[in-house]
Amino acid sequence: MIAEYDKLDAVAMADLVRRRELKAEELLDEAIARTEARDTVLNAVTTRFFDLARDRIAQGLPDGPLRGVPFLLKDLGVFYAGTKTTSASRLFADFSSPIDSTLAERYVRAGLVIFGKSSLSEFGISATNEPEMFGPCRNPWSLEHTTGGSSGGAAAAVAGGIIPSAHAADGGGSIRIPASHCGLFGLKPTRARVPLGPHISESWAGMTIHHVVTRSVRDSAVLLDVSQGAAPGDPYWAPPPAASYLELTKRDPQRLRIAVSLKSFEAVALDPQVRAGVENAAKLCESLGHQVEWVDPALDDVIPDEEYLQCRADIIHASMYTSLLRRNRQLGRDFSGRDLQRVTALFAEAGREVSAQTYLNAIQTLQRASRALGQQFEKWDVLLGPVCATPPHKLGEVDMESTDLATYKAIARSHTGYTSIWNVAGNPAMSVPLHWSTEGLPIGVQFTGRFGAEDTLYQLAGQIERAAPWADRRPAAFPATS
């Protein structure tokens, strides 16, 4: 047992390996021991390949900035040669890729030791993490509550003390929502900041982006340093950063214009505890010297809520149906309802009816809304608001076996009502763990930056972390052991 393990983030672990005070083998053994001890409760790690990880260490790890740090990949959208990527669906139960994704290659080059895959909702379409294939993933802060989704396994593994950082992905809030529910830091990068290839050119018309959930801001920053940047053949990419994100976290930003808004673009009711978290965060930012003002971002005159929701749904449904057709060709058979959870099947059925004209109209309509939001960001540097409309739900409240898609989506919007708009617009946005409910459940607050401006967010996050640190606040189920 490594006595200080709970106090170490990924940067600190790599530093100890670099100075030969710890070995990569010791860190991996600790992560494996914790997985075996804690995952019987959390159900966060779906696929384990401990021997492969040990073999990679024995072969010699690259001398990257995170050399020797144990790490999990989300079981969706990124491939690690010779390991299964199930997408939490029976339809992909035996799927594996013979080659790595570009992102996996970059993680390996950074020195990370990948030893498993983390749980998610089926195909990542739910904002809770309760796939039928693997069963529900449990929140370390309260085992009766959801971790949020879809990257709930990653968040549970980090909040539960198995590893300090884990890969995640975000198509409508799937980094920020579980970060909020599990008391972690989670930044969704700018659209196309992180490459998806060579298997995927874009996902959900560019709304999906990969990154991580972490305990510390600097872990998130260094992991974006090693993963960001266009790969050969990428159709488009984010503007390159002017400096290392890790270095930026050490510097306070100049005085920022921070707008604060409680407006949702999905017509959801806001819980008073979430409102209090935003108000407290605004006061904290003001105390740090930033200019803070309450605003009401105008988008209704560009696209009404219902049209926004329909256009986004058309893209997601059509993308889901297309992915399933591709799997049909691989399997040589048609998928059936027995292969999928009910809501997933309903998504696919809806996607079957989306015409090319409807799909293109959805993209053009959402791009028009994105430009309107971009113009408003000329007035401020950062927008502060909620991540989710409510504290974490109890498990079972968001039902992937529902036969009523409209009711399912109405409940799900309490998770995505404040997050999905920034997947559409492509702006970077982060969940920062600054508030807890009266039940002791984490409530993150969301900071959104201008397109391409992760540098501003990382500077602000570093400043906030120094002013209101959260690292020592741990769930009662898995407190720090040292």
What letter represents residue 426's amino acid?
G
Extract the runs of DSSP E, i.e. beta strands, from 173-243: 185-188, 209-214
CB 371 within 8 A of CB 449: no
Q: CA dist 148 to 106, 231, 286, 388, Å?
A: 27, 31, 30, 10
- Provide CB contacts within 8 A for 290, sequence distance 6+: 255, 256, 257, 258
DSSP conformation class of 90: G
- Provide the 10 A C-beta neighbour count for residue 273: 16
CA distance 229 to 193: 6
What letter represents residue 349's amino acid?
E
What is the Cα gyration radius of the chain?
21
CA distance 367 to 73: 31
Q: Which two tokens stand for residue 406?
A: 């409209």
Q: How many helices (H) and strands (E) does the chain have?
A: 15, 13
For 411, the enclosing helix (H) or strand (E) is helix 405-416
CB 145 within 8 A of CB 181: yes
CA distance 60 to 82: 19
Residue numbers annotated as active site: 74, 150, 174
For 211-247, b/e burial (b = at least 16 CB within 10 A) is bbbbbbbbbbbbbbbbbbbbbeebeebbeebeebbbe
CB 41 within 8 A of CB 477: yes
> At which residue do the structure tokens 């900035």 appear?
65
3-state secondary structure of 217: helix
Instruction: State the sign of the Cα–Cα–Cα–Cα dihedral 224, 225, 231, 234.
Output: positive
CA distance 195 to 32: 29
Q: Which two tokens stand for residue 413?
A: 């919007």
- Provide CB contacts within 8 A for 481, sequence distance 6+: 1, 5, 6, 161
**Beta-strand relationship, 442-449 and 429-436:** antiparallel
What letter represents residue 455's amino acid?
D
Q: Residue 179: phi, psi to the nearest 5? A: -60, -45
3-state secondary structure of 421: helix
